[in-house]
């Protein structure tokens, strides 16, 4: 095994940079607020089909129809879905307080889910084209 000093120095520099950037965040008061989001954009094919199936199962469990669905639990939430095309499936699920979400789908056979939890998160997603799939999970605190 060969150790390359340049790669080791780059790794150390990257680690120091991450600690420097993160240290003000770690020292901030707990009531500062913020959010953490995860967006999943699967490749076409089996991954996209699995995500579509997962969203359809979620909709069945929650007594929703295919097409455009919004479910809100909490206060002061707002959401809207716009669709232009055939076979689009949009889902916005909000649980908490003060969430805002919009989903615009232009094209055919697109599928997207927005899932918001906690408080005060904002998400705006647009899909243009055909056969796109994705999901965003966002947690506000």
pLDDT tens digits for 59-94? 888 888 878 999 999 999 999 999 999 999 999 999
Residue 111: CB atoms within 10 A of its CB come to: 25
At 25 the pLDDT is 47
At 63 the pLDDT is 82
E-assigned strands of the chain?
35-40, 68-75, 78-84, 89-97, 100-106, 111-119, 122-128, 133-140
pLDDT digits (tens, 9 = 90+) for 96-116: 999 999 999 999 999 999 999
At 26 the pLDDT is 47
At 6 the pLDDT is 59
Rounded percentage of the chain residues whose pLDDT exceeds 90: 62
Parallel, antiparallel or unpaired: strands 100-106 and 122-128: parallel
Measured in degrees and rounded to the nearest 5, phi and psi for residue 72 equal -125, 130
Domain boundaries, the chain: 37-140
- Average pLDDT of the residues of the chain: 85
Q: Which of 112, 116, 117 is nearest to 135 (CA)?
A: 112
The whole-model pTM stands at 0.74
Tracing tokens 């901030």 back to the chain, one arrives at 28
Tracing tokens 């240290």 back to the chain, one arrives at 23
Tell me the β-bridge partners of 21: none
Gyration radius of the chain's alpha carbons: 20
d(CA 113, CA 137): 8
């Amino acid at each position: 095994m060969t150790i390359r000093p340049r790669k080791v120095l780059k790794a150390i520099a990257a680690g120091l940079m991450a600690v420097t950037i993160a240290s003000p965040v770690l020292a901030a008061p707990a009531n500062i607020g913020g959010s953490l989001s995860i967006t999943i954009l699967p490749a076409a094919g089996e991954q996209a089909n699995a995500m579509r199936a997962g969203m359809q199962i979620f909709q069945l469990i929650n007594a929703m129809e295919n097409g455009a669905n919004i479910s809100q639990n909490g206060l002061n939430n707002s959401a809207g879905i716009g669709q232009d095309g055939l076979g689009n499936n949009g889902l916005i699920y909000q649980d908490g307080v003060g969430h805002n979400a919009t989903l615009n789908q232009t094209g055919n056979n697109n599928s997207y889910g927005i899932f918001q939890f906690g408080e005060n998160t904002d998400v705006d997603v647009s899909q243009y084209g055909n056969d796109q799939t994705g999901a965003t999970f966002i947690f506000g605190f």
